[in-house]
Structure formats: C-alpha cells, structure tokens
Amino acid sequence: MILVVGATGLLGGMIAKQLLANGQAVRVLVRENSPSAALAEQGMATSVESLVEAGAQTVVGDLKDRESLERACEGIETVITTANAFIRGGADTFESVDLDGTKNLIDAAVSRGARHLIYTSAAGSDPDHPHPLFRAKGRCEVHLESSGLEYTILQPGVFMEIWIGAIVGIPLKSEQPVTLVEPGSRQQAFVSMADVAAYAVASVDDPNALNQKILIAGPESYSWIQAVENVGRVIGREIPVDFIAPGDPVPLVPEAVGPLLAALEMEDSFIEMGDTSARYGIEPTSLDTFAARFFG
C-alpha cells in the first residue's frame, strides 16, 4: 500500500488519483478539521470526498504528531509526501511542518518498516539556504538520504499552476494590473504540477528512480514578463504590469508570496530535461500548453 501525505493539496491529489486509477492501493493522511473541502470549492485543494470516491483509504493524522504518523505508516511500503505549510498559517510553519514534520514522517516510515519514500522538495533547496522553505527542504533531503530508506527526491522548479495562477490569475480576476518584482526578466524554470505528479507516480515502480534526485521543469525557462505576455495572447488582450522593488508587498496575493517572488528574481534558472524526459517517458509541459489549458 502507498501512503500519500499532502493528498488534499492540488499536487498530492493529482498523485493519489493517478495511483488509484492505475489500480494501486492508496491511503491518504487527512488532518482533523482540514479546510480542504472549502479550499477545493475555490480550486485550491483536493477534497477528501473526491479521494474517497476514487477509492482511497483515509487515516487521520498530522505531520506535527509523530504518533499519528506511526499509525498512518502501518503496513505501508511506499510513502509519497507533497505536504507543506505554504498557505496554512498559525502553528503550521516552515519549521514545524516542512522541517520537523517531514523529519517525523521519515522517522515514522523507518520505524514502521516502509521501503521507499518519495519526497517533493524543490530545485535550489539547500540546508543553508537563506529562505526557510528552501532551507527546510534541503535539510529534509539530507535527513532522508541518511535514513536507510530507499528514496526518490523530486526537485521541481516553479509550479505554473500555483505561481502563474496566483501572480497573473488573481489580478486578472480582480481586473487589476499584474505586479512583478523588478526587473521581471530573470529566467524561471517553470514546471506544470501535472509533470511532477507523473514523475511521482512513475517513481513508485521504476528502479531508475531509487536513491535519485530528479530535477523537473518544462522544456525551457521563461521570464515573468514572458509568462504575462503568453497569458495575454491566450486571453486576447495586453495585460498591464506594475513593478515593485524586492521586499515590497505584492498586492492581492498571500503575504508569504512576496519574499519567494523576490528570491526567484535573484538569478536565472534552467533545468535541462532531455535525458530525464527520455529516461522516464514524460514529455515536459510548455508554457504555451499550460497557459492555453489554464487560462483558455
């Protein structure tokens, strides 16, 4: 059986449903009083009901509760985690969830005899990264590599659905200009969550994925300015853009987005996908394809 942690998120939900469609037995970790149902109505999460209807078994637990993770990992062979604290707030922080919580999950998987853990990290993560999210993910990578589990570490670039959906989509709905951190011209390794889900599902049974780090992106990198122009072509009109200095708040989006958007504008990023795409048989999703699908 496969345990999916983060299954009520968008990416985790994609993974769980693909596994179930493939005939896999799937258990999903569900937090008590999870807001996923309300968020799912806004297109920001996957409802528990839809996972159960697809055939998933549920178990109540929380990354901050080690004992609940021990129960969740009972009888599990493979653990897949996409969970993060990005939009949670309160007691759910990068420290408590992304760092300590993920370490709890890794240790519980070891304790209960799981074989393989597939961890969704991020391109550029590093144990000494100045941003707490990338630092937490870098430290969890190190913890997983030394755990004794077989592992697959997915290192995706910038999620198109989340980031372009928020930075461009929210202002469009509000009929406001898009706000970018200047200069907006750094090349970003954008990636579709659908591609990341495909790599997670493939990693369950593919021996090529064992004890590997897999960088994942689209076929080429694009700047934020290009992303806005691309969406403008899809909707048939020019989208106005305002620029702010790094550190200034970004209107309309959650507060946590601003520092990450500024960090992305510090350097160019590109991930060569030719060999990886061929090895796993997964074709990278281009910005054109994403924009037509998401905004068309």
User: For the chain, what are the domain ranges?
Assistant: 2-156, 158-191+218-269+285-296
Determine the pLDDT at residue 34. Answer: 72
- Give Cβ neighbours of residue 185 (< 8 Å, ≥ 6 apart): 223, 224, 225
> Does residue 89 carry a pLDDT above 70?
no
More confident residue, 32 or 237: 237
Q: Rg of the Cα trace of the chain?
A: 19
pLDDT digits (tens, 9 = 90+) for 125-169: 999 998 899 999 999 999 999 999 999 999 999 999 999 999 999
With H, G, I as helix, E, B as strand and everything else as coil, classify residue 132. helix
Contacts of 140 (CB under 8 A, 6+ apart): 98, 99, 102, 103, 106, 119, 121
Q: Do domains 2-156 and 158-191+218-269+285-296 have the same CATH topology?
A: no
* Mean pLDDT to the nearest integer, 70-79: 98
Percent of the chain with pLDDT over 90: 86
Residue 256, pLDDT score: 79
pLDDT for the residue 92: 86
Pick the closest to residue 273 from 149, 177, 190, 204 (CA basis): 190
pLDDT single digits (tens) 178-234: 999 999 999 999 999 999 999 999 999 999 999 999 999 999 999 999 999 999 999
> Does residue 15 surpass a pLDDT of 80?
yes
Mean pLDDT (the chain, rounded): 94
Q: Which range (7-16, 26-35, 49-58) has the least confidence? A: 26-35
Q: Dihedrals φ, ψ of 243, to 5°?
A: -120, 145
What single-letter amino acid sits at 132?
A: P
pLDDT over 80 at 86, yes or no: no
Confidence of residue 120 (pLDDT cuts 50, 70, 90): very high
Does residue 114 have a pLDDT over 80? yes
pLDDT value, residue 173: 93
pLDDT tens per residue across span 242-295: 999 998 999 998 887 888 899 889 889 999 999 999 999 999 999 999 999 999
Q: What separation in angstroms does the CA of 79 have from each of 2, 28, 217, 237, 259?
A: 6, 10, 23, 44, 31
Q: Where are the alpha helices (DSSP H) in the chain?
A: 10-21, 36-41, 48-53, 66-72, 102-111, 132-145, 170-174, 193-205, 224-235, 257-264, 274-280, 287-295
Look at residue 258 in the predicted model and tell me its pLDDT.
87
Does residue 38 register a pLDDT over 80?
no
The domain over range 2-156 is classified in CATH as 3.30.70.890: no
* Backbone CA torsion sign across 214, 101, 76, 33: negative
The yes-or-no verdict on residue 42 having pLDDT over 70 is no
pLDDT at residue 43 in the model: 67
Which pLDDT belongs to residue 83? 94
CATH superfamily of 158-191+218-269+285-296: UDP-galactose 4-epimerase, domain 1 (3.90.25.10)
Query: What pLDDT was estimated at residue 257?
Result: 85
Report d(CA 241, CA 219) in Å as an integer.
26
- Please return the burial class of 120, using the count of CB atoms within 10 Å of its CB with bins 0-12, 13-18 and 19+: buried
Beta strands, E only, 47-92: 57-60, 78-81
Q: Which DSSP symbol is given to 240?
A: P
pLDDT for the residue numbered 296: 87
The answer to whether the pTM exceeds 0.85 is yes
- What's the longest Cα–Cα distance across the chain? 56
